Amino acid sequence: MSILERIFNFKGSKNDQQPNIPFGRFSDAYKTDAQQAAFDRALEYFDKGDTLGSYREFFNYIRDENNSAHLSTREENNAIHFEFWQGSRLVRGVAGPEYVKAESKVARAGDLNVGFLRRLMEVNFNLKFSRFALDPDNNLCILFDTDAVDASPLKLLHALRELSIQADKQDDLLLDEFKTLEPAEERTYGDIPEEEKEVKYRYIRKEIEAAFAVLDAGKPDPNQFPGTFAYLMLALAFKLDYLVRPEGFMMDVLERIHGIYFAKNQLTPQVKVQQIRKEFQKLLDRPKEELFVEMYRTRSTFGVNPPVTHGSLATFIEGELANMEWPIQQGFEKLALAVPQYIVGFTLFHQAPPKPDRDLMHLFVQIMEADFFRELGFYNNLKDASGKLNKMAITKEIARITQHHKLQYPKFRINTDKLDFASQVLFTKSYLQAVKGADLTRAD
């Protein structure tokens, strides 16, 4: 998660008090000019038949220059042997003059249970480049191989991304569901303090129970206004994903919640909201120790979030923000707040907006969840325990963000005079309007 750590390593006036805790999903969308140039060279070398030169530049492209330990390569016998991390899984492979092969061990099977074998066969059906298989030692592996003549940099990019993400996703899910499986390789990285897990566990329960309370209050009637409550439930899912960064079962539940509401089927919005509630209930019912197992740091090479332009984000904000008006007029503050929280959460969950936008959205989360950040040990004076916004601290942070991006985006400004600090609802609305109106024209 090194890129996110760099982007979001925001320090207040108490720099030495900020813990090293990353947030959000990893994205590999923020490639440098040097990395992009490496990919262009990889394509050129491949077209000329220089496969080894193409592979060298390809790995320069996917390597994170500030955390190169996530990926290592060595040349031997006219081939490049490589290793890299994706979440909790290690991917190993070789790229040579005749073929390219990669694999990751997902789990070890002591007994060949038909349940997990069927599961992986079903997953295989939807894979485009890779496949799950058993090795001679009964390790469940995911494999990719191709002839060198067909191993273009673009194909390698899509294939290794698919393999890596599936390996990282399936290991925790399979181990949780099928108790006969064992870890193929013990995780030696990423343990986090028990105190941090406790804070996150309490936060999960508190936020889900608070959302249920709003739903159960019936004001307005969820059956008459299901869309309003959908914002509440989806914003909660995105928020938990961003702040807790769970793996395994909980991550799968949060992804399933999004899929439930946006699935194109015959279910009514009312039914979808109730189905989402049942998914959240699974997290409340899950034993504490099992949720703790799914909390750990990860190192990644590939991300799934596509880059989006500021213009696309501005259009999204404009279209969704209008849905705040009715709950504001009716006095439903928590439901009104869910709309901007949904906008920010959806963007951070699904997309990779320009860095200034992403920084401003992280600041939005810091403001709205100030108590949570303080419990984790962060210095956060953006909002006090009573919910009162600290105008001076917030404007100072906004100024710091704009200054940070001044060289790349010389026209980037946020007019803090237009921010409305009269209430949290009005502030969030004015804040996103300010983000929407920012000029992110890059320097020539």
pLDDT, one tens digit per residue, over 403-437 is 999 999 999 999 999 999 999 999 999 999 999 99
What's the whole-number mean pLDDT along residues 161-169?
93
What is the pLDDT at residue 184?
A: 84
What is the pLDDT at residue 190?
A: 87
pLDDT, one tens digit per residue, over 137-153 is 889 999 999 999 999 99
In the chain, pLDDT over 90 holds for what percent of residues? 76
Query: If you ran DSSP here, which 8-state letter would residue 324 be given?
Result: G
The alpha helices in 218-354, defined as continuous H runs, are 226-244, 248-262, 269-285, 288-293, 310-321, 325-330, 333-350
What is the pLDDT at residue 1?
A: 38
Q: Which two tokens stand for residue 330?
A: 């009716």
Q: Which has the higher per-residue pLDDT, 10 or 270? A: 270
What is the pLDDT at residue 6?
A: 39
pLDDT, one tens digit per residue, over 301-320 is 998 888 999 999 999 999 99
Nearest to 144 by CA among 155, 131, 153: 131
Q: What are phi and psi of 336, to 5 degrees?
A: -65, -40
Task: For the chain, give every domain's residue range.
Answer: 31-87+89-183, 194-436
Asked if 42 contacts 151 with a C-beta cutoff of 8 angstroms, the reply is no
What is the pLDDT at residue 111?
A: 79
Q: Does domain 31-87+89-183 have CATH number 3.30.1460.10?
A: yes
Single-letter amino acid, residue 46: F
Number of H helices, E strands in the chain: 17, 7
pLDDT, one tens digit per residue, over 78-100 is 999 999 999 889 999 999 999 99
Q: Does the structure show a pLDDT above 50 at 11?
A: no
Nearest to 251 by CA among 264, 265, 237: 237
What's the whole-number mean pLDDT along residues 239-261?
94
pLDDT, one tens digit per residue, over 13-41 is 454 568 999 999 888 888 889 999 999 99
What is the pLDDT at residue 119?
A: 86
pTM assigned to the model: 0.89
